[in-house]
């Protein structure tokens, strides 16, 4: 990777309960991509972009071209859908 490639803005969305691609896989991300921001949503698994305000956050990130100053307060309101077994 070129030095310039590492300076592109990067927004990583991670489910805190993702067994497939855990937050541990992103160790050192900020070192490789200094313009990165990681958003962890507790209790969610893989493929979380459709939950709560995450789609809107991604849209703002793309529109602005940076994760700097991105307000992520709404992520705290996202909760996992209850798992229900029917009889």
CB atoms within 10 A of CB 75: 18
Question: Residue 24 region, left (φ>0) first, then alpha (ψ -120 to 50), else beta?
Answer: alpha
Using one digit for the tens of pLDDT, what is the confidence trace for 47-67?
Answer: 898 989 999 999 999 999 999
pTM, entire model? 0.81
Q: How many whole angstroms separate alpha carbon 58 and alpha carbon 2?
A: 25
Q: Enumerate residues 6+ apart whose C-beta is below 8 A from 42.
A: 16, 17
Using one digit for the tens of pLDDT, what is the confidence trace for 3-53?
Answer: 566 789 999 999 999 999 889 999 999 999 999 999 999 999 988 989 899
């Amino acid at each position: 990777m070129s030095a310039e490639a590492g300076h592109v803005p990067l927004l990583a969305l991670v489910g805190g309960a993702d067994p497939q691609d855990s937050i541990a896989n992103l160790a050192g991300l900020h070192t490789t991509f200094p313009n990165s921001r990681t958003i962890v949503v507790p209790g969610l698994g893989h493929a979380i972009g459709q939950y709560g305000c995450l789609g809107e956050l991604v849209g703002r990130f793309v529109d602005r071209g940076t994760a700097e100053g991105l307000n992520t307060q709404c992520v705290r309101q996202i909760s996992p859908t209850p798992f229900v077994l029917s009889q």
